[in-house]
Amino acid sequence: MISVKNLDFQYSKRAMIYNQLNLELEVGKIVGLLGKNGTGKSTLFKLMSGLLQPKSGSITISETDPFRREPSFLSKLFFVPEEFDMPPIRVRDFVKNTAVFYPRFDYSLMNELLKEFSLQDGQNLKGMSYGQKKKVIIAFALATKAELILMDEPTNGLDIPSKNIFRKIMAGHFEEDQLIMISTHQVKDIDTIIDHLVVLDEGGVIYNESIFDLTQKYNFLTISNENAVDAIYSEAVLGGYKAIVSKQDHEETQVDLELFFNALISDYKQFF
């Protein structure tokens, strides 16, 4: 569905952000997009949405060039940016005016998700906090049923119970013909919902694998003595160490995304 080939991009006269970035992704996945500050995650989402044009290389989404911004393409994509403006109108009017652009929009799901987030469609967006507006836009994004949903830091501004609800609704309302990409630094907010991981660093994609493959290749352990295991990577934590080891006869363990991310950016080549 997404095909990025030898991509590069620069903002006016600034340095190039990528170094011939390549990425292929198919539908049926909820993808976590991780990367240090400034590695170009938000820029990549803007390029995928057609808000920016590549300087070199190409991006195609279902064989379409996003920058052409064709209505038929836009009706299949929803982008939740980190910063956004919403009109000073009631939620129900926002839904009425905007849902028409999304042929698969599910009005009853929208109402259900608003209820989950303890919001009413009669509330005016003007009087809402940043977190409340974010919940409206997350609910709207899922209700579009768009084939491609891009979410940039969706849990920023959400309180603790809302982060829980976010995880629940993401897992419960994803369909196999969709691709959802979530860019975040809040790995705990997404570690139970993503089934695929993409990591950007050094101008390119340094990791692009399913979480299933990760669990089959590695174990994530908490140990008291660093030398107790032959660790690929370890970090000191209160009372011991967290370690990544090659999976042998150990049972499957829950992926520690933060630890894996730190290991990757310290030396990703050790994982290949």
Ligand X SMILES: Nc1ncnc2c1ncn2[C@@H]1O[C@H](COP(=O)(O)OP(=O)(O)OP(=O)(O)O)[C@@H](O)[C@H]1O
What is the number of other CB atoms lying within 10 angstroms of the CB of residue 238? 4
Distance of CA 14 to the CA centre of its chain: 26
Query: What track of x and - describes contact with ligand X for positions 15 through 34 (by CB under 6 A)?
Result: --x-----------------
Counting residues that bind ligand X (by CB under 6 A) gives: 11
φ, ψ of residue 50 in degrees (nearest 5) = 80, 15
**CB closer to ligand X, 36 vs 126:** 36
Strand order in the sheet with 218-223: 218-223, 240-246, 233-237
Query: What track of x and - describes contact with ligand X for positions 31 through 70 (by CB under 6 A)?
Result: ----x-xxxxxxx---------------------------
What is the number of other CB atoms lying within 10 angstroms of the CB of residue 10? 13
- Closest separation in Å from C-beta 36 to ligand X: 7
**CB closer to ligand X, 37 vs 248:** 37
**CB closer to ligand X, 153 vs 256:** 153
> Exposure string (b/e) for 91-112, b if CB count within 10 Å is 16 or more?
bbebbeeebeebeebbeebbbb
**CB closer to ligand X, 40 vs 54:** 40
d(CA 252, CA 258) in angstroms, rounded, equals 17
**CB closer to ligand X, 44 vs 114:** 44
- Closest separation in Å from C-beta 75 to ligand X: 25
What is the number of other CB atoms lying within 10 angstroms of the CB of residue 132? 19
**11 is a contact residue toward ligand X (CB under 6 A):** yes
- Closest separation in Å from C-beta 46 to ligand X: 8
**List of residues contacting ligand X (CB under 6 A):** 11, 14, 17, 35, 37-43
